[in-house]
């Protein structure tokens, strides 16, 4: 990228949207939305260029990675129509990809790099648990790598309160077996996200995530 990406336009618009989350305001400020999205896509372009070869991204474009800003309010008590962050998935096929990728969120209080299985099916969870039960060492080596710890600390996600069916409560890997979500996440302050070196920091965290995503490929 020839210039340093800057997410200030994205943050400014999203901050204003959070105070005016209704259709009339959004339509009156659609040009501002387009500029904010363009700034986010420009930032994504730097990440895509970095991983295009290693992750087989082909001709993937930033716009293919970005989620719609419209919220699905059908089953929600919150009927505000718009998300107050931009979200994207960098993976072959973009946002609709069926494979593991890097989730990038950007917005006031909502900036992150994340990945994994956020809503695994029962079949995916059972495959994960069988893998942990049979041979946890490879996963534990990934989670214990210095780069992984520096970026994510530890694997995250909701857990069962007790052992899953078919596993003993004193299983040596019980905390991994209790996972209902198999995710990693690095959240950033707004100040960090608006620094000139944020693209480099996000790339560093994505690189640290890659072995974890590779581990999940046979499970997904």
Residue 106: inside a domain, yes or no? yes
> Over 90: is that where the pLDDT of 220 sits?
no
pLDDT-based confidence at 5, cuts 50/70/90? Answer: low
* Measured distance CA(15)–CA(47) in Å, rounded: 24
pLDDT-based confidence at 166, cuts 50/70/90? Answer: very high
* Measured distance CA(127)–CA(218) in Å, rounded: 9
What is the C-alpha radius of gyration for the chain, rounded to an integer number of angstroms?
A: 19
Residue 66 lies in domain: 8-216
> Over 50: is that where the pLDDT of 2 sits?
no
Residue 3: inside a domain, yes or no? no
Number of domains in the chain: 1
Each residue's pLDDT tens digit, 182-216 = 999 999 999 999 999 999 999 999 999 999 999 99
- What is the predicted pLDDT for the residue at 4? 55
> Over 50: is that where the pLDDT of 17 sits?
yes
Residue 1: inside a domain, yes or no? no
> Over 80: is that where the pLDDT of 3 sits?
no
3-state secondary structure of 76: coil
Phi-psi region of 166 (alpha: psi -120 to 50; beta: other; left: phi over 0): left
Residue 86's φ and ψ, nearest 5 degrees, are -100, 140
Residue 146: inside a domain, yes or no? yes
> Over 60: is that where the pLDDT of 145 sits?
yes
Each residue's pLDDT tens digit, 84-135 = 999 999 999 999 998 999 999 999 999 999 999 999 999 999 999 999 998 8
pLDDT-based confidence at 1, cuts 50/70/90? Answer: very low
* Residue pair 62/41 in contact by the 8 Å Cβ criterion: yes
- What is the predicted pLDDT for the residue at 55? 95
Residue 140: inside a domain, yes or no? yes
Q: What is the mean pLDDT of residues 13-17?
A: 98
Each residue's pLDDT tens digit, 21-76 = 999 999 999 999 999 999 999 999 999 999 999 999 999 999 999 999 999 988 88
């Amino acid at each position: 990228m020839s210039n340093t990406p800057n997410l200030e336009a994205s943050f400014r618009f999203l901050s204003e949207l959070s105070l005016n989350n209704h259709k009339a305001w959004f339509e009156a400020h659609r040009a501002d939305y387009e500029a904010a999205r363009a700034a986010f896509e420009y930032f994504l372009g730097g990440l895509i260029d970095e991983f295009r070869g290693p992750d087989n991204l082909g001709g993937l474009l930033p716009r293919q990675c970005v989620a719609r800003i419209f919220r699905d309010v059908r089953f929600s008590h919150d009927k505000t129509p718009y998300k107050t962050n931009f979200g994207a998935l960098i993976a072959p096929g973009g946002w609709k990809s069926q494979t593991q990728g890097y989730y990038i969120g950007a917005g006031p209080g909502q900036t992150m790099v994340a990945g994994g299985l956020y809503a695994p099916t029962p079949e995916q969870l059972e495959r994960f648990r069988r893998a942990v039960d049979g041979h946890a060492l490879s996963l534990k080596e990934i989670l214990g790598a210095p780069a992984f710890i520096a970026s994510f600390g530890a694997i995250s996600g909701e857990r069962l309160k007790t052992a899953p069916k078919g596993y003993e409560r004193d299983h040596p890997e019980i905390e991994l077996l209790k996972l209902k979500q198999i995710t990693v996440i690095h959240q950033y302050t707004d100040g960090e996200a608006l620094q000139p070196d944020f693209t480099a920091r996000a790339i560093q965290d994505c690189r640290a995530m890659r072995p974890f995503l590779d581990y999940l490929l046979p499970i997904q």
